Amino acid sequence: MATSGIRTENVSFASNGDTATGYLARPVGDGPFPAVVVIQEWWGLDAHIKDLAERFAGEGFVALAPDLYHGQVTTEPDDARKLLMAMNMPIALREIGGAIGYLSDLPGVEPKSVGVIGFCMGGRLSLNAASTGDERIGAAVAFYGGGVQPTPEFVSGIRAPVLAVYGEDDAGIPPEQYNGLEAEMDRQEKTFDMVIYPGAGHAFLNDTRPSYNASAATDAWTRAVQWFHTYLA
């Protein structure tokens, strides 16, 4: 479907000997365009994540949001928690890798290195994907990605420039966790930036939920887009 200068479609792509699916949004035209993988929150591949993929397309990127829950979407925290717990993290990372490969193989995508960006659960997965040392990842952005232990081994695998974004009022992510990530990234001289927004909580970019914080969301979105323009150029 083509609207307002972008095209959207559901696509299938190879993933470690199997097939995965996702939502693709891209600018109209032949390109070349940089590309990003957009990784879902724990709700699933919902309207918000599809909207973010479309917003990236509007910014001149080819964006693919893989469906890591394989068709399941929820709005209830208890159900989201169950879906997250049932998800196989290694398989999810392989599907993200498949999405990276799909984008890098598309005609009109240049450079062939791809950005990864994730939110909530997806923020953690974007950091985990970067930590695999996948040379196809040209830049990574993690929005309020908790659960990452910034060990020297974890950080040593990260080759891509990383932007990490948090809300100061996010009770679910201890400050020592992201401060530890910043310290270890700096110690290993990785390309890294971190922004913490005062007055913002978890999921402050999600404009479909009460957690939305317009000022933090506007600034963080601008930074994320600029990060990819800078490091995928």
How far is 158 from 5, CA to CA, in rounded Å? Answer: 35
Q: Is 18 a catalytic residue?
A: no
Residues 81-119, buried b or exposed e (16+ Cβ, 10 A)? eebbeebeeeebbbbbbbbbbbbbebeebeeebbbbbbb
Q: At what angle do helices 89-105 and 121-131 cross, to 10 degrees?
A: 70
Q: Is 48 a catalytic residue?
A: no
The one catalytic residue among 48, 67, 134, 202 = 202
List Cα–Cα distances, 35 to 48, 103, 155, in angstroms: 19, 7, 24
How far is 89 from 193, CA to CA, in rounded Å? Answer: 26
Q: Is 120 a catalytic residue?
A: yes
User: Which residues are CB-neighbours of 187 under 8 A, at least 6 positions away?
Assistant: none
The one catalytic residue among 48, 67, 120, 134 = 120
H-state helical runs in the chain: 47-58, 77-86, 89-105, 121-131, 152-156, 175-187, 214-231
The one catalytic residue among 51, 170, 219, 229 = 170
SS3 content of the chain, % helix, strand, coil (to 5): 35, 25, 40
Query: What is the set of active-site residues?
Result: 120, 170, 202
